[in-house]
Chains A and B, each alone.
Chain A
Amino acid sequence: MFDLKDLYMQVIVDHNKSPRNFHAMPDATNKAEGFNPLCGDKLTLYIKLDDKKMIQDVSFEGSGCAISTASASLMTEQLKGKTMAEAELIFSRFHDMVTSDPTAPANTEGLDKLAALGGVREFPSRIKCATLCWHTLNAALAGDKSATTE
């Protein structure tokens, strides 16, 4: 049986309690709002791209459950200094991890600390909590103003 501790790992609890890069960014080059209509989670993602399309800085604000808050916090940590192409690759690996078959070992290659969210795949109703910030990132990078999990 899956244990709750697989979902609420210490790193998740910590990032929920003290989210990193949790502030507005007045000089952001890209910005998008993310919304999960199912549970009401909301976040605003700010990105500062340099002229080589590298993510110089990234931050977020909003309210959500522990999974969505920790996921956004961990994502911002992971993305600083990455190019748009690298960010997209991480998202695709992350997405594969959280939607993979929970009975097989998770593939956490290249995901670093984001691997802590691997337990989400054992809780199907919570996958959208973990991916909301990433859908919002996609929207922000594509120049869209909003993303939803629906």
Chain B
Amino acid sequence: MMFDVNKIRAEFPILHQQVYDHPLAYLDNAATTQKPQCVIDALRRYYEQENANIHRGVHYLSEKATAKYETAREKVRAFINAGSEREIIFVRGATEAINLVASSWGRVNVKAGDEILITELEHHSNIVPWQLLCEQTGSKLVVAPINEQGEVIPGEFERLLSPRTRLAAISHLSNALGTINPVKKMIELAHQAGAKVLLDGAQAAAHLNVDMQALDVDFYAISAHKMYGPTGIGALYAKEEILESMPPYQGGGDMISMVTFEKTHYNVLPYRFEAGTPNIAGVIGFGQAIDWLASVNVESIAAHEHALLDYATQQATAFPGLRLIGTAADRASILSFTLESVHPHDLGTILDREGVAIRAGHHCAMPVMEHFGVPATARASFAAYNTVEEVDALFAALKKAQDMFA
């Protein structure tokens, strides 16, 4: 099927509006993507026709809701090519997925003197849970540095792996710089050193082909809202044998098979890690978003975004006073930059009035900002529905901002 951006745009009702008398150019997709009509319809249909609690109901609606919820799990499994549905845990998002691993797996596997290896380009959500774990266990957080292009220095990552490394927690695709980490190689190296690997896939899942079995990764965290799905829902992938060995994360309904005051028997996977009534509508919307992504095809989307990124990078390189932050050889969907004489925060406001939505700030990656010696960057990030015209609108607005401050 041919990739037709106009056909894709037609599926996103939110894009067809004027912002301050300009057509909206939504370039803040790394923060959250917009939702296609089919996802909005799935949420609406659930509440209009299918709403019931899942797993224990004997009535028609409950059986229907349960079937849809579990079908969505199978869709997530297939999308990331996990070996089994038992390896897919629904959580609030990538942040909760990482926290689940830190508190459940970390509590029993990380001891004083052990090390957790992360990289310098991590999002705060792949730093802070490990800092908390280190404080609680007396283990040590080790950080693999990045170079001036914003790539993890390969020799350094390898050098910092040691027999004490219990886990390497790595971003698959950097939200602040767009760097794609060579995760396959990093996973091999970590496994050779005897460490498990968690990939933060929040940014990657809608832009890269993500294959659990090919990567042989131990944990993978994703968020639906960055994949054209609803907010407040995501998934943790974890290898079945690891999940089997992990203590429950939260206690409550659905995660048990039998409760007495003397002893509670926990439920089987994946339910053991899903305490309480989950975000059923969100899961069903997530499943629909995955259907949408799969039907458009992630590789086609990636090719389209790559063309936009190349075009934008060319414009950026020729733009006087513009400094690209993050120039890794392998990059996807993100253009992070600063402009001489205009602070990113002012750029954000000025571009907004031109209908161009970008992000200005530290992108929840303050150590990355520190590395590049900037307090903040402006970030344009692309998705399936963005166009060359929107990139032109971005640079026209940048020119206007620059003139305003001249």
Chain A positions within 8 Å of B, measured between CB atoms, are: 1, 4, 7-8, 13, 16-17, 38-42, 63-67, 69, 123, 125-126, 129
Contact = CB atoms under 8 A, between A and B. Distances in A.
Given A13-B405, A17-B405, A66-B343, A126 B349 contact: yes
A41 B346 CA distance: 12
A4 B375 CA distance: 24
Given A39-B376, A66-B343, A4 B361 contact: no
20 contacts: A4-B349, A7-B349, A8-B346, A8-B350, A13-B404, A13-B405, A17-B341, A39-B360, A39-B361, A39-B375, A40-B375, A40-B376, A41-B375, A64-B343, A64-B375, A65-B343, A65-B345, A65-B346, A66-B342, A66-B346
A67 B346 contact: yes
Contacts of B360: 39
Contacts of B376: 39-40
Given A16-B405, A38-B361, A63 B375 contact: yes
A5 to B, nearest CB: 9
A62 B21 CA distance: 36
A146 B364 CA distance: 22
Nearest to A126: B349
A65 to B, nearest CB: 4
B297 to A, nearest CB: 37
A141 to B, nearest CB: 26
B400 to A, nearest CB: 9
B405 A39 contact: no
B369 interface: yes
A40 B338 CA distance: 14
A126 B345 CA distance: 9
Given A39-B376, A63-B375, A129-B345, 19 more contacts: A4-B349, A4-B404, A7-B349, A8-B404, A8-B405, A13-B404, A13-B405, A16-B405, A40-B361, A40-B362, A41-B375, A42-B375, A64-B343, A64-B345, A65-B343, A66-B342, A66-B405, A67-B345, A126-B349
A73 to B, nearest CB: 14
B345 A1 contact: no
Interface string B349-377: 11001000000111000100100000110
A1 B343 CA distance: 24
Contacts of A17: 341, 405
Contacts of A8: 346, 350, 404-405
B3 interface: no
Contact of B369 (A7, A40, A64): A40
Nearest to A125: B349
A71 to B, nearest CB: 13
B20 interface: yes
A49 B344 CA distance: 35
A1 B21 contact: yes
Contacts of B349: 4, 7, 123, 125-126
